[in-house]
Structure 1
Amino acid sequence: MVHSNLLIALAAVAQCALTYMILNLPVDPYILVIEGTTTLLLYNLSLYLSMPREPQKSPFQRTRWIGRNMWLFWTLSILAAIGTFYALLHIHLMTFFFLGMVGGVSLAYSVPLVRIRGQWSSMRQVPGLKVFYIAMVWSLSSVGLPVIELFANGTAIDWYMANYLGIVKIVFLVLCTLPFDIRDYDQDRLYNLKTVPTLLGKENAIKLSFGIGVLHLLLIIGSPYALIVKYGMVLTTALILVLFQYVIFAKQKHYHHVYLLDFALILQWLLVLFFSYVM
């Protein structure tokens, strides 16, 4: 499930559903479908473009797993494409254009669409940008997409709360994404990717991860959202910091446990949902 990108697609759906809860807006199931299927497609595209010619000889477990299961890779991609097409038939034209803009920004991460120093490159090659770029795209899709669809259909939007949530999500996604770059330090050096850890070093990147966690806690505590939202989000971030200290970044570093952070994206929604029922 982890290697197939299904987990990250479910995490995207959970984060989108959380937006509806936090802003107290009606859920649109077609937007949730689009969020999940497009996330799966984009992550599969990024994975496919980075696949070596002989994946079975790769030193990385995930690459070897994908190489052995290409039938599953293509099956899921085709099903996601069909689901995306069906859901697109049920959204407002304004949302369609917004989604196209987000899709273009997303593709620019993996596909060489911009010229950098006279050469066509992807945004992935911009030094230190990767983790923040991914977080921005996630915020645009998980917050911007549902908000734009509701606005286009005449729903009143509290733009201060929506924009504040967009910022909070960016910080949270950086918190959950940076440890993946720390884990991939050796691989990114091999591919000459200038990520935050390769620029700052592993230890400084780990310190930065804890600092981002503290910043996220402060943003939640000072947010205009209901207490049930604050309880769920604060508890999630606190658990992530504990995970950093005692598992992922412990003395014997367990970077293979970094996939727990994908579960944290789902857990955040589940905890807010839990507190909404018990309080």
Structure 2
Amino acid sequence: MRPSSDKPSGAASSGALPWTAILRQWTDAVLYSSTWLALAALALTWATFLFWRVDIPWRLAVLIFAATLFLYNIDSVLPYKFQQQLVLSGRKRWMLAHRRELFALAIAALVVAAVLFFLDGWQHLTLFLGHLAAISLLYSLPLVKWRSRWRALRDLPLLKVFLIAYVWAAVTVWIPALYLGKPLAAPLVLVLFARRFCFILALAFVFDIRDYTKDRLTGTLTFPGVFGVRATKLFALAVLAVANVLLPWGVSSAHLLALLLPSVLAAAVIWYADETRPDYYFALLTDGVMIVQFLAVYWAT
């Protein structure tokens, strides 16, 4: 029903959106354009630099942010994803409605990342960085036709969470180590990598739980589909516990205490994860745990 024309009433009469609707629109844009996720990648990379008490170079920070923005947005606009006969979530509907904008954002991010890659002399690491980019791009890109359906890396049984954890740990731990001239095989670097791998792996199981029905419909074998949701949560909590045991030596008591908060939050997010949770639970809260970890490290440094 339209408001009466002789009784104009604030935003409704002027056609303006209420502030809650505007806030919702901007929140959706930040979350579903992967901007929040790119900030999480930057935050974890920064946290690694903070461990070595070095400020992250701003150009490297922009490179990490832009590369993450490109990879996730180019993945989100792949045509085959919108051809799947599945019930679309609010997040997927938003992406479908903004495919052109997401593609433009991905291209702009790629240009920024490529310029910084060449200006800052990362060419000697082309092979190393290239294999991470290849895993990220081929994660969802159909490569092989098997049993009348095109398959991507994520379709390999039980593999997708490990791919995610490996790429994120490599970017957020190994790249800072390489920048600072630290050997990747150094014991301290290996401990930091293993800790970050387990932390991301534990969170990645939450997204497997979110995609439980979709993965079953598409024939993708994941931990929840094979072992059940409850067993997956218990395994994720065990992996998170391992992450908290893998402590680098020389860490102060304040640093250890600060790291406890994101671990507790991560455990709660894992335990209460369910595919019926709203999109914000996963896009805002689960990814936000990574930013909380950075804030905890920043506070303790």
The two structures have a TM-score, normalised by structure 1, of 0.85
Question: Counterpart of 1:5?
Answer: 34
Query: 1:258 and 2:282 equivalent?
Result: yes
CA distance in 2, matches of 1:189, 1:8: 25
> Kindly tell me: are residues 254 and 61 of structure 1, through their superposed partners in 2, closer, same or farther at Cα, counting changes over 3 Å?
closer
CA distance in 2, matches of 1:103, 1:156: 21
Question: Counterpart of 1:208?
Answer: 235
One-letter code aligned to 1:196: F
Within the candidate set 219, 225, 245, 1:218 is matched to 245
One-letter code aligned to 2:170: L
The two structures have a TM-score, normalised by structure 2, of 0.79
Structure 1 residue ranges without an equivalent (≥5): none
Which structure has the bigger radius of gyration? 2
> Kindly tell me: are residues 113 and 254 of structure 1, through their superposed partners in 2, closer, same or farther at Cα, counting changes over 3 Å?
closer
> Kindly tell me: are residues 52 and 92 of structure 1, through their superposed partners in 2, closer, same or farther at Cα, counting changes over 3 Å?
closer
The question of whether the paired residues in 1 share the 8 Å contact of 2:144 and 2:150 is answered with yes
The question of whether the paired residues in 2 share the 8 Å contact of 1:114 and 1:123 is answered with no
Within the candidate set 145, 150, 153, 2:180 is matched to 150
Over aligned residues, Cα RMSD in angstroms?
Answer: 2.8
SS of 2:221 mapped into structure 1:
coil
Structure 2 residue ranges without an equivalent (≥5): 1-29
Residues 233-252 of structure 1: per-residue CA shift (max 9 Å, x gap): 2221022223444x436xx9
CA distance in 2, matches of 1:64, 1:156: 44
The number of equivalent residue pairs is 267
Query: 1:44 and 2:73 equivalent?
Result: yes
Identity of aligned residues (%): 26
Question: Counterpart of 2:201?
Answer: 174
Higher mean C-alpha deviation, range 164-173 or range 16-25 = 16-25
Question: Counterpart of 1:183?
Answer: 210
CA distance in 2, matches of 1:142, 1:28: 14
Within the candidate set 176, 181, 196, 2:223 is matched to 196
CA distance in 2, matches of 1:200, 1:17: 35
Question: Counterpart of 2:170?
Answer: 140
CA distance in 2, matches of 1:35, 1:180: 22
Question: Counterpart of 2:90?
Answer: 61
Residues 16-47 of structure 1: per-residue CA shift (max 9 Å, x gap): 11111113345222222221111121112222
Residues 44-64 of structure 1: per-residue CA shift (max 9 Å, x gap): 222222521499x84322221
Residues 75-110 of structure 1: per-residue CA shift (max 9 Å, x gap): 321221121122112133323332122212322322
CA distance in 1, matches of 2:126, 2:270: 39
